[in-house]
A and B are shown apart, each in its own frame.
Chain A
């Protein structure tokens, strides 16, 4: 399946690509090597109307909808195989354990990690970053040490470091961005100091869509022996992530943004770091032997998975990963790039609209403001037309401060969105302007 999509996506350009006529658009959505009509059938939630209009779901950066294969997986496991993992000697426990560990291997392959024990199941990106901050950070940072992040981070890649700084006396350094929403490479390099102990950067910005030059960042940091964490919450659903090729030290992602369940996520960590790091939480399953004098910790990855894990959602995350790989991340990335290109062109036809975040390398996020109309008012009126977008600061208040905005409206696209939906969005934005007069 993977092959079919990938080879079709790589086919020579369909003439329809360059001519955005109505007929051409239809061709773009359905025949350009990516069968979005069929893909949409995999998502039961998309079949509904909202406020009397067909649902147009454009809030994928917040969370994605779930394919039937993921929903069915959850049901199937609870109905047939569910029990606790790693402990029982009975059949169901063995089945759950096998499925749980198979999911770990799916994720390992998805990220191209070297070992499955480099994949730690956590609740989500936030918990993954907190784990690194509290385990790696607290065990290695001293007063005066520095952590380098960027000005485009989500709060989850700011606050854990601020907490760590309070606990250790370390300092948080912030690399600036420019008005396009891109990092300023020289400024970034200048901020790497002999005291920098960790660089933590989003792979793709949730508020702006910017895709950071993470490979160059990692090379630069590694040349000074500084490890790098990538917040991959936004990137992982939209592009191939190969942690060995990137050579990142940590990679954090969330299941629910990856067409999988909520409450499950991944911390990838290089074995050498995970081995050296102390456990973050104590409890069951993370131990090998406990006496009241001393506890011997379990091996990786169990050392970081205290307590009963989110078994079924982890298994269903494995199903989500399978689903994405069947379509092919390359095919998804290429399709979404075309969606973004089209959406940007159409949006710029509206004189009152200002895009926020215009980086050269961008994921499928269109953040914008409208003259004199607050994003929340935009969001409410679009909702009346069945269009779900996000309005607010997107948990990236420093980004909003940088652009001098209280909030933006954000349309973020996923693998099931269509060119027709972008037309509906653009018509909707025009209606918002009409209502406000």
Chain B
């Protein structure tokens, strides 16, 4: 049993859950988005600083399960320094690995450490946990003012 559950809860997930990276308020953010999953009460505030189409800095605060916290933490690490287009591309891939059909080919190398969250695919009830931060980022990049909801 514990082996099976390790597909979902890999060490990287625990590491990022215990010590989330970029977990702070960003005073000089030019985008700020509240993300909320009403189903489980997960909340995230995402701060983004975008200049000339490049994500110069990104951070978050909030409370959620291990999957949502680790996903947000990993996301902030990977998108920092990327262009908005690159981040959007990553979002698409991430969405595919967490929700797509098993036979869909995804270049796991392209997404680096994010691949540890591919295990969530086997847990449909948990997909929203993994994608909350990403939906929030997408909204931030589109500069949508309202709260993002995964519902």
Listed in ascending order, the chain A residues whose CB lies under 8 Å from chain B are 51-52, 372-377, 380-381, 384-385, 391-393, 397, 400, 406-407, 431, 434-437
A-B contact pairs, 29 of them (CB 8 A): A51-B1, A374-B64, A375-B65, A376-B65, A376-B129, A377-B65, A380-B5, A380-B8, A380-B125, A381-B5, A384-B1, A384-B5, A392-B39, A392-B40, A400-B41, A406-B42, A406-B43, A406-B63, A406-B64, A407-B40, A407-B41, A431-B1, A431-B2, A434-B2, A435-B2, A435-B5, A435-B9, A436-B14, A437-B14
- Indicate if B4 sits at the interface (CB-CB under 8 A): yes
Q: By CB atoms of chain A within 10 A, which of B4, B39, B42, B65 has the most?
A: B65
Among B8, B14, B66, the residue within 8 A (CB) of A374 is: B66
**Complex Cα spacing A436 to B8, Å:** 12
- Distance in Å: Cβ of A5 to nearest Cβ of chain B: 37
Would A397 and B126 count as touching, CB distance under 8 A? Answer: no
Interface residue ranges, B against A (CB under 8 Å): 1-2, 4-5, 8-9, 14, 18, 39-43, 63-67, 123, 125-126, 129
Inside 8 A of A376's CB, which chain B residues have their CB?
40, 65, 67, 126, 129
Report Cα–Cα, A109/B41, bound state, in Å.
41
Contact flag A380-B43 (CB < 8 Å), given A374-B64, A431-B2, A436-B14? no
Q: In the bound complex, how far is the Cα of B42 from the Cα of A391, in angstroms?
A: 12
Give the distance to chain B from A407, nearest Cβ to Cβ, in Å.
5
User: In the complex, what residues of A have CB within 8 A of residue B65's CB?
Assistant: 374-377
How many contacts A-B (CB < 8 Å)? Answer: 55
- Report B14 CB to chain A, min CB distance, Å: 7
Which of these, A381, A384, A406, contacts B40 with CB under 8 Å?
A: A406
Question: Hey, which chain A residues are within 8 Å of B66, CB to CB?
Answer: 373-374, 377, 436
Q: Which of A374, A384, A391, A406 contacts B4 (CB 8 A)?
A: A384
Contacts of B126 in A (CB 8 A): 376, 380
Chain B residues lying within 8 Å of A51, measured Cβ to Cβ, are 1
Looking at the assembled complex, report how far the CB atom of B46 sits from the nearest CB atom of chain A, in whole angstroms.
Answer: 17
- Across the two chains, which residue of chain A brings its CB closest to B63? A406
Q: B41's contact among A373, A380, A385, A393, by CB below 8 Å, is which?
A: A393
| Identity of the chain B residue whose Cβ is nearest the Cβ of A434 in the assembled complex | B2
Contact of B123 among A372, A380, A392 (CB under 8 A): A380
Beyond the given A51-B1, A376-B129, could you list 11 further A-B residue pairs with CB under 8 A, ordered by the A residue number?
Answer: A373-B66, A374-B64, A376-B40, A377-B66, A380-B125, A384-B1, A384-B5, A392-B41, A393-B41, A431-B1, A431-B2
Complex Cα distance A31/B38, Å?
44
Q: How far is the CB of B23 from chain A (nearest CB, A)?
A: 15
Chain B residues with CB under 8 A of A381: 5, 9
- A408 CB, min distance to chain B CBs, angstroms: 10
B129 CB to nearest A CB, Å:
6
A397–B18 Cα gap in the complex (Å)?
26
Residues of A within 8 A of B9 (CB): 377, 381, 435-436
**Taking the nearest CB of chain A, how far is it from the CB of B35, in angstroms?**
13
